[in-house]
Amino acid sequence: MDGFWSGVGVDLHVEPDARAGRREGLERALRDAVRDGRLAPGTRLPATRRLAAELGISRGTAKAAYDQLVAEGYLTARQGAGTEVAALRTTALATPGDGTHARAPRFDLRPGSPDVGAFPAAAWLRALRRAIATAPSLAYDYGDPRGRIELRTALSGYLGRARGVIAPPERIVVTTGYVQGLALLTRVLGSGVIAMEDPGLPFHREVVRHNGGTVVPVGVDERGARAEGLGDAAAVVVTPAHQYPTGVTLHPERRRALTDWARARGGLIVEDDYDGEFRYDRQPVGALQGMAPAQVVYLGTASKTLGPALRLGWMVLPPQLADAVADAKLHSDHQTESIGQLALAELITSHAYDRHVRACRLRYRRRRDQLLDRLGARGNVRGIAAGLHALVDVADEGAVLARAAEEGLAVGHLGEHWHAVGEGRPQGLVVGYGTPRERAYPEALEVLARVLGA
C-alpha cells in the first residue's frame, strides 16, 4: 500500500465520513472539497483504481462516487482524459480590502510602476536556464541571509560602474524589495527619530512607524531635501536622484550639507535610489552613497527596471550596520528566494540587464517627450529630467480629480503626499508615464489633456 501511494499518479487528501457509508461519505468529502475551494476547477483527480487502493474501498464504490458527482456537475469525465473538477458557476463573496469589487481604471496614469508589459521575458528565461544549469546543489538549501554571493558580486560591479556606489559584496544584503529594507533598518535603529521627505510617499512613513520608528518631516524645495532642522534625528530618508513626488534632483550643496550633518551628528542617510537609472537629458546623477559610504545606506530594487513581481532589492550598508541588518534579515524571513537571485546575477553579468535598462530609458524618454508635447506649452510640468513620473501644477486638485474620475482616469495627486494637511500647500497631479501599456499611452494623454483643459 505505501509503495503504491508514493509512486503512482496524483495525490488527493480526502477524509470520508465513515458514519455516512463508504460511497456517500466519499461523495460528501469530495463535494465539500470542491465547494470550499480545496479542489480548484481543472484539478485532475486520481484514477478510481488508485483512489480505491488508498482508501481501502472497492473500485466500484469509488467509480460510483465519481459518477454521482459528474451527474451533479461537480466533476467532468472524458474518455482517455480522466476525471477533473468542473468549473462551477459561483459568486465570490467579497471581504473588506480584498479588491473583489475594485475596477481597473480605463486610463491609468498612476505613478510608482513601470510598464510591466516590457518585462524582458525571453532574456529572463535564458538567464534562468543558465543559472539553474550551473547552480550548485546547495543553492536549493537554506543560505546566507545576506543573499547569494553570485548576485552580491554582480551587484557590486554593476552598482559601482552604473551608480558610483562603493559596494563590497560583504556589505550587501539582498531583500524582497525596498519596503523590507526600510523595515529591517528601522528595527535595527530601534525607536529613534527618522526624518522623511515632505512631501513623500505615505506608505513608507507607515512602514517606519509600524516597525517602531518615529517619523518627522524634512522639507523639500526646488533644490531637494533641506538639511536644516534634522537635529538629533537618527536617520534621514531621501530620494536624491529624482525626488518623489516633486521630481527635483538633490542639489550638490544639499548633498554636502546632508553628509556634513551625518558626519557631525553620527546620523545616517538612507538613500532610496528607486529610479536612478532613468535620466534622460544627460548622464545619470551618481548615487549620494559614493560621497560618504560610511554614513549612507543605499537601497535599490529591480521593481522599476524589471518589475515589482520579482521582489528583489538590495541594501549597501556601512560596515558598522552590515552584520546587524543581516541578523535582522535572518530573523525576518531567513533569506530571499535563491533562484531569482541567480537569474538576476546572470542577467547582470551577461550585460542583458544593461541592454534592457537602456531600452527602457529610450522608451520612457519618448513617453516623457509625448507628455511635454501635449502639456508642456502650459509651462506647469515639473520634475521631468528623470524617473517615471512628472508633477503637473494645478490650482484646484479636488476639481481636477473629480473630472478625472468622470473620465475613468486614475492619477496621483500632491495632496496625498504631505505629512499633514495644511492651507496654502502647493497642489498638483503626480502623473506616472511608466504604468500604461505602449498602445494605451497616447489615448491616456489625450484624456489627461482634456481633464486639464489643455
pLDDT above 90 covers a percentage of the chain that reads: 67
Q: Which helix (H) or strand (E) holds 413?
A: strand 409-413
Higher pLDDT, 356 or 25: 356
Predicted pLDDT at 110: 93
Contact 238, 269 (CB under 8 A): yes
pLDDT (average), residues 182-201: 95
pLDDT by residue (tens digit) across 214-253? Answer: 999 999 999 999 998 798 899 999 999 999 999 999 999 9
Q: What domains can you pick out in the chain, each with its CATH number?
A: 2-85 (1.10.10.10), 107-116+355-452 (3.90.1150.10), 119-353 (3.40.640.10)
Q: Are 202 and 191 in contact (CB under 8 A)?
A: no
Please report which helix (H) or strand (E) contains residue 49, including its range: helix 48-55
Q: Provide the Cα torsion 216, 217, 223, 229; round to 10°.
A: -50
pLDDT at 94 (0 to 100): 34
Q: What is the pLDDT of residues 380-416, one digit of tens each?
A: 899 999 999 999 999 999 999 999 999 999 999 999 9
State the pLDDT at residue 379: 66
What pLDDT, on a 0 to 100 scale, did the predictor assign at position 9?
55
* Sequence-ordered list of residues with C-beta below 8 angstroms from that of 88, at least 6 positions apart, any chain: 34, 41, 73, 74
Q: If phi over 0 gives left and psi between -120 and 50 gives alpha, with beta otherwise, what is residue 212? A: left
Q: What is the pLDDT of residue 1?
A: 38
Distance CA 370, CA 433 (A): 10
Cis peptide before 199 (omega within 30 of 0): yes
Is the pTM here over 0.85, yes or no? no
Please write the tens of the pLDDT for every residue from 283-332: 778 899 999 999 999 999 999 999 999 999 999 999 999 999 999 999 99
Q: Can you tell me whether residue 386 is helix, strand or coil?
A: strand
Q: At what angle do helices 59-72 and 22-35 cross, to 10 degrees?
A: 40
Dihedral sign for Cα atoms in the order 52, 55, 58, 61: negative
Lowest mean pLDDT among 12-21, 61-70, 207-216: 12-21
Helices (H), 141-234: 149-163, 178-189, 202-210
d(CA 287, CA 290): 6
Helix axes 48-55, 59-72, angle to 10 degrees: 120
Residues with Cβ within 8 Å of residue 339, at least 6 apart in sequence: 128, 131, 132, 135, 139
- Give the mean model confidence (pLDDT) for residues 193-203: 96
**Average pLDDT value for the chain:** 89
pLDDT of 97 over the 60 cut:
no
> Is the confidence at residue 101, as pLDDT, over 70?
no
pLDDT, one tens digit per residue, over 128-165 is 999 999 999 999 999 999 999 999 999 999 999 999 99
Across the range 165-193, mean pLDDT stands at 96
CA 155 to chain centre: 19
List the grid coordinates of 340: 531569482
C-alpha 189/C-alpha 374 separation (Å) is 46
Pairing of strands 389-393, 268-272: unpaired
